Amino acid sequence: MHKSRSVAGTNNKRVTNDMIILGIDTSCDDTCAAIVQDGKRLLSNIVNSQVTVHHEHGGVVPELASREHIRNIVPVVRESLRKAHLTNKDIDAVAVTVGPGLVGALLVGIYFAKAFSYANAIPLLGINHLEGHILSIFLEEKSPPFPFIALTVSGGHTNIYHVRDFGDYTVLGKTLDDAAGEAFDKIAKLLELGYPGGPVIEKLAAAGRPDAIGFPRAYLSKASLDFSFSGLKTAVALYFRKWCDHQPKENKIKIADIAASFQAAVVDVLVDKVVAATTRVGVNSVVLAGGVARNTYLRSRLQSVMAQKGIDLFIPGPEFCTDNGAMIAVAGYHRWTRGEGDDLTLDARSRFPVDQA
Ligand code: KG4
Ligand code: ZN
């Protein structure tokens, strides 16, 4: 279907018909570019994190994120090519996140991808960021059979999907307010632990007792697979205020107990709703993805519950859980094999439900 060319190194004469895709993601605070062959084989994966820029603000500042992406996009793509021992000419298509995300940030990646596609006369593929997270598992050696349930938990989204095939997704549940990662970030800010909140809360929680404080679990209606974390956030804030008033007097509850009890409240709801989803649609495989999937407490709790139920659990490696260009290249590959593609009118979509991808 497309040309044969030499890949992987200037002296390497290996000729392949495999599709090599450059994947770009600038949806939030990481400038990401990766190169993936045949929707599976990772050739390079570069992530330039802006954590130090946003850390002092306790969260992502959209204008600063856009400015950093502008500064970083060219060196990051160049590095992805260098690491893969490739040049522009070896790339068969460019896939880029179009949403959901911060519009100003998304536009940097989109305009770069348009220029790259035009200059190299290769296809342009606009990708839904959440589809990228769902498909990140296909970068691993062991990938799930269809159909499966996917729980994507990130800074902006908490969703449960029924995944029937590449490009065939039904949303079974979503957050009605804060995303799980956002709750971690907000609680970390409250406890003055910095940004991003997930890793610092997890570290602190390891020294605390998950059952020390009975924070609320919002299950909503019994049949609901939706989430709500704003009530939990308020409960932790109120508790913390009272707790501070009693410091440094004898207090049996430590700050690590607050972190551990908060984490347990989030994880309990996530695990229970995933179990309910597998029962509802009758699948034997579950995928956990997104930045919060790096959380070892969540990973191990889900692992043990799924093992009890005889359901196979698939979790991408940590580098594929948080935002990356590789998952965008994977999603691009499958769009391309379906004969889909975009033209230069491609635009950013701050809101972009995955079932419209
Ligand atoms: O997927 P991601 O990189 O970006 C979005 O698409 O939002 O997810 C980032 C989110 C942040 O909210 C961060 O606090 C959270 O993932 N996160 C974690 C952990 N590592 C990152 N949350 C809990 N535990 C972690 N270890
Ligand atoms: Zn993400």
The H or E element that residue 280 is part of is: helix 255-281
- Tell me, using a 6 A CB cutoff, whether residue 199 lines ligand 1: yes
Short-list 31, 34, 78, CA closest to 50: 31
Any long-range contacts for 275-279 (C-beta under 8 Å, 24+ apart)?
275/305, 275/309, 276/225, 277/149, 277/151, 277/160, 277/162, 277/172, 277/173, 277/225, 278/149, 278/309, 278/311
Residue 355 pLDDT greater than 90, yes or no: no
The reported pLDDT for the residue numbered 284 is: 96
Ligand 1 centroid, distance to 181 Cα (angstroms): 5
Q: How confident is the model at residue 249 (pLDDT cuts 50, 70, 90)?
A: low
Of 320, 322, 327, 354, best ligand 1 pocket probe by most atoms within 8 Å of the beta carbon: 322
Q: For ligand 1, atom 3, name the residue with the nearest CA.
A: 322
Mutate to test the pocket of ligand 1, among 54, 129, 184 (most ligand atoms within 8 A of CB): 184
Q: How far is the CA of 114 from the centre of ligand 2 (A)?
A: 22
With cut-offs at 50, 70 and 90, classify the pLDDT of residue 17: low
Question: Average pLDDT, whole number, for the chain?
Answer: 92
316 lines ligand 1 (CB under 6 A): no
Q: Which of 98, 97, 94, 88 is nearest to 117 (CA)?
A: 94
Under 8 Å between Cβ of 260 and 209: yes
Q: Find the largest Cα–Cα distance for the chain.
A: 73
Query: Is 156 close to ligand 1, i.e. is its CB under 6 Å away?
Result: yes
% of the chain exceeding 90 in pLDDT: 83
pLDDT tens-digit readout, 20-41: 999 999 999 999 999 999 999 9
CA of 226 to the centre of ligand 2 (A): 19
- Per-residue pLDDT, averaged over 73-78, amounts to 98
Cα 212–chain centre separation: 30
Does 291 sit in the ligand 1 pocket, CB within 6 Å? yes
Mean pLDDT value across residues 237-249: 86
Q: What is the reported pLDDT for 250?
A: 65
Most informative mutation of 49, 154, 191 for ligand 1 (most atoms within 8 A of CB): 154
The model's confidence at residue 13, banded by pLDDT at 50, 70 and 90, is very low
Protein residue with its CA nearest to atom 7 in ligand 1: 155
Domains of the chain: 20-136+321-356 (3.30.420.40), 144-315 (3.30.420.40)
pLDDT band at 138 (very low <50, low <70, confident <90, very high): very high
Q: What is the DSSP string of 136-166?
A: GGGGSSS-PPSSEEEEEE-SS-EEEEEEEET
What is the DSSP track for 163-219? EEETTEEEEEEEBSS--HHHHHHHHHHHTT--SSHHHHHHHHHTTS-TTSS------
d(CA 90, CA 19): 9
Measured distance CA(325)–CA(33) in Å, rounded: 5
Residue with tokens 């993601």: 25
Q: Are 96 and 110 in contact (CB under 8 A)?
A: yes
Please report the pLDDT score of residue 16 as a whole number.
Answer: 41
Instruction: Output DSSP code: residue 227.
Output: B
**Single pTM value for the model:** 0.92
Whether the CB-CB separation of 209 and 159 falls below 8 Å is answered with: no
CB 100 less than 6 A from any atom of ligand 1:
no
pLDDT tens digits for range 156-172: 999 999 999 999 999 99
Task: Please state the rounded mean pLDDT for residues 320-332.
Answer: 98
Concatenate the DSSP letters of all residues of 41-92 into one string: EEEEEEEEE-HHHHHTTTS--HHHHHHHHHHHHHHHHHHHHHHTT--GGG--
Mean local confidence (pLDDT), 283-302: 97
